[in-house]
Amino acid sequence: MKESELDIQRIDPTLYNEDLAPLKHKDRNWGAFEIFNVWSNDIQSLFGYTLAASLFLAYGLNGWAVMAAIILAGFIVMFLVNLTGKPSVKYGIPFPVMVRASMGVRGANLPAMLRAIIGIFWYGVQTYFASTAVALLIVALFGAGNGTTFLGLSGVAWVSFVIVWLFQIAIFWSGIERIKHFLNWAGPLVYVVMVALMIVVWYQAGSELLPAIGTIFSADGERSGSAVAAFLAIVGTMVAYFAAVVINFGDFTRFVRTERQMKLGNLLGLPLNVAFFSFIALIITAGTLVLFGDALTNPADIVERVDSLPLTIVAALTFFAATVGINLVANFIPPAYDLANLFPSKISFKVGGLITAVVAFFVGALWVSLISQIGVPGFVNALGAIVAPFYGIIVVDYYLVKRQHLDMQQLFSSEPGTAYYYVKGWNTRALMAFGGAALFSISTVVVPALSGLDGYGWMMGAALGGLFYYGLMHGYRAAPVAPAT
C-alpha cells in the first residue's frame, strides 16, 4: 500500500473525511508560482502594507536598518516554512492531520482549534481591510453619504463590508481551484498597481522626495532601548505577522507537486518579495510626507488623497483583490480544515468555511470600534505567541522524534496501542510542552514587566516548545510505525 492510500475499512470515521485524507500526487497541481503568490498576496494585502510601512516610523530606527530587519525576517520565515511544508509535500495531508503525530489523534484538536480561532480573527480583520478598498471605490464614484456611523463604520463602510463578506463566501464555495486562480492573477496585478502608485506619488513629490527619504532614514524618531533591540523587535514582529501561516503551511504544500517547487516558491515569495515590496512602501510613505505633511501607512488613504480618479478605481479594485486573495487562502483554508478535524463526519471543508465566515463577520465589524485599539504590532504578536510553541513541537517531532516518517493509516486510527494514540488519544508530554512554552511566549506580550521582550514572543515560544517537547519525549517509545511500502 502506498503512503497516500488508506485502508478505509480500518479507519476511525470520527477522524476521517475526504477533505482530510492524504492527497495523491496525481491530484496535485500547485507549483512554485502558486506558493509565490501565497506570500505575494500575504504581504501585499492592505494590512500587510500598513504593518510594513509603520515599521519605518514606529521604532525610531535608521530606515536602512528597518529594511535589513524586514529582509532578515523574510529569510527566517522561508527557513521555517520549508521545515513545516516538507511533510505535507511528502504525504499530502493538511495541518490538523499532521499534528496528530505529535499531539495525539484527539489532542490534535487543541492546536487545530487555537489555529482556527486565530484564522477566524484574521479572516474578519482582513475582510474589514478589503472593504476599505471597496468603500474607496464607492465614495469615488457615488460620494460619501451622510456621514452617519455605527460601531465606527459609516453607511458606505457597512455596505462595503457586507459586499466583501458575501463575495468571499461565493469564491470559496466554488472550491480550491477557483481560489488558486483568483490568487494567481491578484498577486502579480497588485505589483503593477503599487508600482504605478509609487510613480504617481514620486512624480507629484518631485525633487522633494529624496530629502524626505533621508528624513525617514535619519533615525531621528524617539526610541527606548538600544538600536539592536529595536532591530530584533522588527524582525520578531514581521515573523509574527507570518506566524499563523508558518504553523499550518502544510495546508498549502499538500497541493504542491515537489519539494523543490515549494522551496523555489518560498525563496521568491519571501525574502525577495518582501524586500521589493518594503522598498515600494518606503518610497510611497516618504512621498506622502512631501505631499500631505503626514506619513500615511494605509494605501486606501493614500489613493484617496491622490487626485486621480482612474488610479483610484484601479487601485481600489486591486487592493480589494489582493486582500481577498490572501484572506481566502491564509485565513479561510486553515480554519476550514481545523473545524472539519473536530467532527469530520459532520463538518466538511465547506461547512467549516461557512462557520469561519459567520464568526469572522462579527470580528471584522468590531475591528474599528474595539479590536484595533490594542494596536497592530501588539495584535500580531499576541495572536502569534499563542500558537508559537506548536511550531517547535511539530518540527522536533517530525525531524528528531519520528525521523521524517509517519504512518498514514495510524493517523486515522484511535485504537489503543497505535503509534499516535498515546493516552486516550492525547500526548500528555506534548500538552505539557505547549503549556509551559505558551505561558512564557504570551507573557512577553501581555505582562508589562516583560515588555522588553515585545516582538520576540513568537520565536521564543517556538524554540521553547521544541526544547520542552524534546526533553519530555527523550526516551519515550511509542507504538512501532510500519515502514512504507
Question: What average pLDDT does this structure show over 366-380?
Answer: 70
Higher confidence at residue 306 or residue 250?
Answer: 250
pLDDT in the model for residue 300:
66
Write the DSSP symbol of residue 407: -
Query: Alpha helices, DSSP H only, in 206-308?
Result: 209-217, 227-241, 243-247, 250-253, 259-267, 273-292, 299-305
Among residues 394, 360, 58, the alpha carbon closest in space to that of 238 is found at 58
Write the DSSP symbol of residue 106: T
Question: What average pLDDT does this structure show over 203-223?
Answer: 71
The pLDDT tens digits of the residues spanning 38-58 come to: 888 778 776 777 888 888 877
pLDDT in the model for residue 224:
55
Distances (CA, A) of 126 to 130, 197, 233, 244, 270: 6, 22, 23, 14, 20
- By CB atoms closer than 10 A (0-12, 13-18, 19+), residue 128 is buried
The pLDDT tens digits of the residues spanning 333-348 come to: 889 999 999 888 889 8
pLDDT in the model for residue 5:
66
Neighbours of 150 (CB within 10 A): 11
Q: For the whole model, what pTM was predicted?
A: 0.85
Question: Which secondary-structure segment (H or E) carries 484?
Answer: none
- By CB atoms closer than 10 A (0-12, 13-18, 19+), residue 237 is buried
**Using an 8 Å Cβ cutoff, are 165 and 364 in contact?**
yes
CA pair distance 257, 277, nearest whole angstrom: 28
- Per-residue pLDDT band for 485 (boundaries 50, 70, 90) equals very low
Neighbours of 449 (CB within 10 A): 7
Beta bridge partners of 150: 153
- Per-residue pLDDT band for 122 (boundaries 50, 70, 90) equals confident
Question: What average pLDDT does this structure show over 93-107?
Answer: 95
Whether 28 shows a pLDDT value over 50: the answer reads yes
The pLDDT tens digits of the residues spanning 394-410 come to: 999 999 999 999 999 99
**Using an 8 Å Cβ cutoff, are 402 and 77 in contact?**
no
pLDDT in the model for residue 476:
67
- Per-residue pLDDT band for 483 (boundaries 50, 70, 90) equals very low
Whether 220 shows a pLDDT value over 60: the answer reads no
Query: Alpha helices, DSSP H only, in 59-154?
Result: 63-91, 95-98, 100-103, 109-142
Whether 106 shows a pLDDT value over 70: the answer reads yes
CA pair distance 231, 394, nearest whole angstrom: 28
pLDDT in the model for residue 146:
74
CA pair distance 232, 444, nearest whole angstrom: 14
- By CB atoms closer than 10 A (0-12, 13-18, 19+), residue 357 is buried
**Using an 8 Å Cβ cutoff, are 274 and 36 in contact?**
no
Side chain identity, residue 270: L
**Using an 8 Å Cβ cutoff, are 280 and 48 in contact?**
no
pLDDT in the model for residue 386:
82
Least confident stretch, 210-214, 253-257, 471-475: 210-214
**153-154 and 149-150 strand pairing:** antiparallel
For the chain, the domains span 8-473
pLDDT in the model for residue 1:
40
pLDDT in the model for residue 401:
94
Question: What average pLDDT does this structure show over 239-260?
Answer: 89
**Using an 8 Å Cβ cutoff, are 116 and 334 in contact?**
yes
Distances (CA, A) of 32 to 43, 73, 182, 277, 354: 17, 20, 16, 19, 29
CA trace torsion 185, 187, 189, 193 (10° rounding): 160
pLDDT in the model for residue 372:
73
Give the highest mean pLDDT range of 42-51, 130-139, 303-312, 457-466: 457-466
Whether 446 shows a pLDDT value over 60: the answer reads yes
Whether 291 shows a pLDDT value over 70: the answer reads yes
The pLDDT tens digits of the residues spanning 275-288 come to: 888 888 888 888 88
Whether 376 shows a pLDDT value over 50: the answer reads yes
Whether 228 shows a pLDDT value over 50: the answer reads yes
Please report how the helices 32-44 and 273-292 are oriented relative to each other, as an axis angle in degrees rounded to 10. Answer: 30
Backbone angles phi, psi at 4, to 5 degrees: -85, 0
Read off the C-alpha cell for 189.
496585478
**Using an 8 Å Cβ cutoff, are 75 and 233 in contact?**
no
Q: Mean pLDDT across the chain, nearest whole number?
A: 84
Domain at 8-473, CATH homologous superfamily: Hydantoin permease (1.10.4160.10)
The pLDDT tens digits of the residues spanning 449-472 come to: 776 676 677 888 899 999 999 999
